[in-house]
């Protein structure tokens, strides 16, 4: 799959897959930033992308940042729709009790391209029945 990507700033980093089998590619910060403890912020990537119709770009956390620093993508996974052409921004949150320093070009999140299926919704008065029924929020097992 070929995807067009545009640098909105000369310092922006074109994403890369780190291994041949990687599902996600790294997104990098455009600028230095201090993500305060317990706070969230939109981090610029300096990139815009043209996702083919029928696909989306999901923005996901990097496991190392989450494990080592408590930093994650707040709305994980974030979705970039195929018709969006603005700058890719990453909404990070610092769950730790210490400030986290982001340097320009640091890998801050990963992106994954996924197929999108749109449903045709059909209004009905009755739904089919299942064994589970309306049980939710822990109803199918130990809480």
In a domain, 132, yes or no: no
Asked if 72 and 65 touch (Cβ cutoff 8 Å), the reply is yes
Total domains in the chain come to 1
Instruction: Note the pLDDT tens digit of each residue in 60-114.
Output: 999 999 999 999 999 999 999 999 999 999 999 999 999 999 999 999 999 999 9
pLDDT of residue 139: 66
Give the rounded distance of the alpha carbon of 118 from its chain centre: 20
CA angle 115, 118, 121 (to 5 degrees): 160
Q: Decide if 142 is inside a domain.
A: no
What CATH number does the domain containing 54 carry?
Answer: 2.70.40.10
Range of the domain at 83: 4-115
Predicted TM-score (pTM) of the model is 0.87
Q: With respect to residue 143, please indicate whether it lies within any of the assigned structural domains.
A: no
Are the C-beta atoms of 50 and 2 separated by less than 8 Å?
no
Structure tokens at 15: 């994403």
Apex 97 CA angle, 93 and 101, nearest 5: 60
Please give the angle made by the CA atoms of 102, 16 and 38, to the nearest 5 degrees: 25
């Amino acid at each position: 799959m070929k995807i067009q990507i545009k640098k909105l700033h000369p310092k922006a980093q074109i994403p890369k897959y780190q291994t041949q089998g990687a599902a996600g590619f790294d997104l990098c910060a455009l600028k230095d930033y201090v993500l305060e403890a317990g706070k969230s912020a939109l981090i610029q990537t300096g990139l815009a992308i043209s996702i083919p119709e029928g696909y989306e770009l999901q923005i996901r956390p990097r496991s190392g940042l989450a494990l080592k620093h408590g930093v994650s993508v707040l709305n994980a996974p974030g979705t970039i729709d195929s018709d969006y052409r603005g700058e890719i921004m990453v909404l990070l949150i610092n769950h730790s009790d210490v400030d986290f320093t982001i340097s320009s070009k640091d890998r801050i999140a990963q992106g994954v391209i996924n197929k999108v299926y749109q449903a045709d919704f059909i209004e009905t008065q009755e739904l089919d029945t299942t064994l589970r029924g309306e049980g939710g929020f822990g109803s199918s097992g130990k809480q």
